Amino acid sequence: MRLIISSVSGEPIYEQIKTQIRSAVLSGELEAGEALPSLRKLAKELRVSVLTITRAYNELADEGVVRNVQGKGTFVMPKGNDVMRDRLVVRVRTGLADVVKAAKAADIPAAELHAMLDEAYGEEP
């Protein structure tokens, strides 16, 4: 996982870190049980304060994305936990809302859209 931080984006650095780690977890790039870089290591790599990384990791832990283990590090939680599942459901609903809007704009009937969804769902694990 590679994090890219922008000092000119207007978004706080800890939020940028949170967003990118959360996306990596939801996409499967980071797997359940995988350790995140240590606070000091990541702070050094990104050239930011350890407190910035600590805040990002703590907020991700509060969301149920990761788990902090005293003295061992920060680890990715399974997608099966309730918080992660809720986030994935929101992501799916958002994506479906965009798809429905595009389908309506293209005059694709619901039955054809259902067939497309069934076909796409069958192709992915």
Question: String of b and e for 78-91 (b: at least 16 CB within 10 Å)?
Answer: ebeeeebeebeeee
Q: Is the pTM of this model over 0.75?
A: no
Average pLDDT over the chain, rounded to whole?
90
Q: What is the mean pLDDT of residues 89-99?
A: 90
Report the alpha-carbon distance of residue 13 to residue 7 in Å, rounded: 7
Per-residue pLDDT at 109 exceeds 90: yes
Give the 3-state secondary structure of residue 13. Answer: helix
Domain 13-76 part of CATH 3.30.70.520: no
Q: What is the mean pLDDT of residues 98-120?
A: 94
